Amino acid sequence: MAQKKFKTEVNQLLDLIIHSLYSHKEIFLRELVSNASDALDKLKYLTLTDDEYKDIDFNPRIDITFTDEDKRTLTIKDSGIGMSEQDLNDQLGTIASSGTKNFLNHLKGDARKDANLIGQFGVGFYSSFMVADLVEVVSRKAGEDTAWKWTSTGENSYSIEESEREEPGTTITLHLNEEGEEYANKWQVEQLVKKYSDHIAFPIFLEYDQKTWEGEGDKREEKVEHKIEQINKAAALWKRSKSELTDEDYNEFYKTTTHDYEDPLFYIHTKAEGTLDYTTLFYIPSKAPFDLFQADYKPGVKLYVKRVYITDDEKELLPAYLRFVRGIIDSEDLPLNVSREILQQNRVMSNIRNASVKKLLGEFKKISESNPEKFAKFIEQFNRPLKEGLYSDYANRDALLELVRFKSTEVEGYTGLAGYKERMKEEQKAIYFIAGGSEETLRNSPLIDAYKRKGIEVLIMDDEIDDIVIPSIGKFADFELKAINKSSAADDLKTDDDKKKEKEAKPVVKKVKDALGDKVKNVVVSSRLTDAPSCIVVDENDPTVQMQQMLKAMGQTDLPDFTPILEINADHAIVKRIGESKDEELIKDISLILLDQAMLAEGVMIKHPTEFVKRLNAVLSKVL
């Protein structure tokens, strides 16, 4: 018998699950039944597509039995793909370290009570230890002769030894603890299966002994009859008519297939017939998946062909920006043995994908119009991935432009570009926005004052991705999108008085430009500043300073040093002092201070903060 220790993270995980999630203990049965269903799906596919497995006598079913004597047990048995010794080590002895660490990071404070985390991080099997003080798993992998037994008390270690099993599949026996004894009960098991697993596409049988009494008095005898009853509907829910399904049916199916513990935000059930024959059932989670912004995210859509499970690990089923969508695609037209390579090039799959994207975006738009409160929750979770679509999915850009939302200087919460357009002033020339930095930094930018003074709304784009995405849009409804922290937007606000000021301020502009040299691309008189003496903007074709910093952090070390355009406020006392002064050292110090403080106001770390402080102190000493 091989005795092996759990990894450190698994020990911590088990301790947290066992001691922190007792209020959700009943979900253990759903997790084990769901795992059994996945195992059946995998073997069913192999028996239909792989010659090596076609001779297997495949009788898909899940059997649940219990004993209610002094030592109570609950057993879940399936006739699925089974596990080898290596599989038992990989799947029950360890968890992918990144997933485990994320899980542990989330299980803090009140989050420890959130059973949703179990399913999110793929550790549902370990919920068994909430109700059992000993778990035994006997499994034989399809195509192999040897069975293996995995045993653990859920503490520090587990053991694996050879065992026996007549057919492929897995049997899990839970030796119930005090918390779990109530589940060695026909009524409890039946209720939990109906609640959580009624729509598992394979039959679930409950085996139990029914005790009855016959006769009277001294002749009264106990009779035990062994019964086997199917306790679920075992029908593919997505193939059933929408009219016979309730919201509860949809929600429970979602929870069963995704291991989420919250109802979805909404679902979209579509049956297409004609040139293509397929069914889709898509769900939008109420909360973003934990791995949404990780490169190794797990896709949420399963592919079936004629109700035969094919894969749940194909990222091409939907575009990457819709990776938060969960659900099922079931095609009648794809071949059962479709490979990943064929799938990526298959015209049928491409048409299903394109139609599904249009359907999803269309439904999102309907919800934005009919249920603003629900749409606000959707945007709170999934606004950023939708913005990715603006950059990557040109074919659906117009639909996405109707959906994405931004913060604003005029409205609370989020607004769309269509809403902005409706509020535009008659003489307004463009849709104005400011991007590159935190919301607080952007809202306090000195550039915004002039637009507020003129009653012009500015969109606040504080998402890192905005700097990449928005320049690619160009126009919305024939109006150009202009960044107010780029040079070209200044011309839109320029008046005749501003042009007059520019001429008058030429001497001071030359002094500042000479003092700063190649630290700036240009120095111009601002038509937008009121209280602040200066601000920085970038040339129209240059990335913002925040974008340049982000690119460098990502490893692009060959970028040139950032050289902004400095706008100065000709009416400000500090700028006027430069114009009056003939002290070249003072002019240089003040000019450098104007540049550095403008950088700081934009949330940019200046290169030499100690020099800035020395320079500031020197100027203050001279002035005072």
62 near 165, Cβ under 8 Å?
no
What tens digit of pLDDT does each residue of 74-113 get?
999 999 999 999 998 887 766 544 344 454 455 454 444 4
| Residue 192: closest CA among 232, 136, 240, 250 | 232
Phi and psi at residue 334, in whole multiples of 5°? -80, 150
Other C-beta atoms closer than 10 Å to the C-beta of 517 total: 9
Mean pLDDT lowest for which of 105-114, 124-133, 375-384, 407-416? 105-114
| Residue 139: closest CA among 28, 4, 39, 37 | 39
User: Which of the residue ranges 42-46, 169-173, 254-258, 435-439 has the most confident prediction, judged by mean pLDDT?
Assistant: 169-173
Mean pLDDT lowest for which of 107-116, 362-371, 508-517? 107-116
Mean pLDDT lowest for which of 8-17, 203-212, 271-280? 8-17
Q: Does domain 404-491 have CATH number 3.20.20.150?
A: no
- Integer-rounded Cα radius of gyration of the chain: 33
Per-residue pLDDT, averaged over 443-457, amounts to 90
**Predicted pLDDT at 127:** 82
Place of tokens 């059973």: 115
List Cβ neighbours of 517 (8 Å cut-off, separation of 6 or more). Answer: none
Per-residue pLDDT, averaged over 600-611, amounts to 85
Phi and psi at residue 404, in whole multiples of 5°? -65, 150
**Average pLDDT over the chain, rounded to an integer:** 86
Measuring CA to CA, how many Å separate 553 from each of 104, 435, 563, 599?
27, 18, 18, 18
**Predicted pLDDT at 300:** 92
Could you tell me the fold of the domain covering 495-623?
Answer: Four Helix Bundle (Hemerythrin (Met), subunit A) (1.20.120)
Give the span between the Cα atoms of 602 and 595, in whole angstroms. Answer: 11
pLDDT band at 340 (very low <50, low <70, confident <90, very high): low
Per-residue pLDDT, averaged over 594-598, amounts to 92
Per-residue pLDDT, averaged over 254-263, amounts to 86
**Predicted pLDDT at 566:** 94
Pair of tokens at residue 563:
């050289």
Give the span between the Cα atoms of 15 and 104, in whole angstroms. Answer: 11
| Residue 303: closest CA among 246, 360, 344 | 344
Per-residue pLDDT, averaged over 438-464, amounts to 90
pTM of the model: 0.73
Residue 124: DSSP 8-state: G
Q: What DSSP element (H or E) covers 83?
A: none
The domain ranges of the chain are 2-230, 237-380, 404-491, 495-623
Give the span between the Cα atoms of 603 and 591, in whole angstroms. Answer: 19
Residue 424: DSSP 8-state: -
Beta-strand (E) ranges in 394-533?
A: 407-408, 431-435, 458-461, 475-476, 479-483, 522-525
Question: Measured in Å, how far apart are the chain's first and last C-alpha atoms?
Answer: 85
**Predicted pLDDT at 497:** 85
Could you tell me the fold of the domain covering 2-230?
Answer: Heat Shock Protein 90 (3.30.565)
**Predicted pLDDT at 114:** 47
pLDDT band at 115 (very low <50, low <70, confident <90, very high): very low
What tens digit of pLDDT does each residue of 185-200 get?
999 999 999 887 887 8
Give the span between the Cα atoms of 597 and 612, in whole angstroms. Answer: 9
Per-residue pLDDT, averaged over 585-594, amounts to 92
CATH no. of 237-380? 3.30.230.80
Q: Above 90 in pLDDT, residue 23? A: no
